[in-house]
Amino acid sequence: MERKFSRIEKLVLTAVFGGLCFLGTFLLAIPYAGGAGFFCFGDAVSLFATFLFGPIVGLGTALIGSLFSDLALGYSAFIPFTILSKSLLVLGAFGVKYLLRNKKEWGLLGFFVGGILMPLGYLPAYLIFYGEFAWAALGFDYIQGIGCAILSCALYFPIKRAIWPKSKER
């Protein structure tokens, strides 16, 4: 039996996971060598929220956490591209999960599809701001996208079973 959430529950889940996404991006950032950006864990929180609670909570989580992180870290010029990128992350991940919902294990590919699509939202920004170095920045984003997909996929089943011990697969 699939659990349905009320509007208030979705709002609270979005706020809580949005805060966790912000903390994962703002505080848990690991800088790359040479100032080429940083690896952050906010995308793992967004993917995790998407798979546990659905695309509305996942998209709200990604946008709240990432947009406030951009503002706090001084990257306000990236906000439009962050909106595109995080939308690709969440909607790509949930789309694959939804399309493969009858094949439990195959739906996990959504984590990785989201992680692969996410950097494409930043590509226009990198071409505008970095010119010929855009492809290097895109490579670092792929490291983050795939790394966060692996982390959130590894945590999904144990935490899901802890939250809903006797429920069927969502």
DSSP 64-128: HHHHHHHHHHT-GGGHHHHHHHHHHHHHHHHHHHHHTTTSTTGGGHHHHHHHHHHHHHHHHHHHH
Between 98 and 166, residue with greater pLDDT: 98
If DSSP codes are grouped into helix, strand and coil, which group holds residue 167? coil
For the chain, give the number of residues.
170
Query: To which residue do tokens 């701001």 refer?
Result: 129
- Supply the pLDDT for residue 87: 96
- Supply the pLDDT for residue 88: 97
The class of domain 7-163 in CATH terms is mainly alpha
Nearest to 42 by CA among 10, 75, 9, 11: 75
- Supply the pLDDT for residue 135: 87
Domain extents for the chain?
Answer: 7-163
- Supply the pLDDT for residue 157: 85
Residues 6+ apart with CB under 8 A from 146: 112, 115, 116
* Centroid of chain to Cα 110: 11
Query: How confident is the model over 110-138, as pLDDT tens digits?
Result: 999 999 999 999 999 989 988 888 888 88
Q: What is the 3-state secondary structure (H, E, C) of 88-104?
A: HHHHHHHHHHHHCCCCC
- Supply the pLDDT for residue 130: 85
CA distances from 144 to 6, 14, 41, 108 (A): 33, 22, 8, 18
- Supply the pLDDT for residue 30: 87
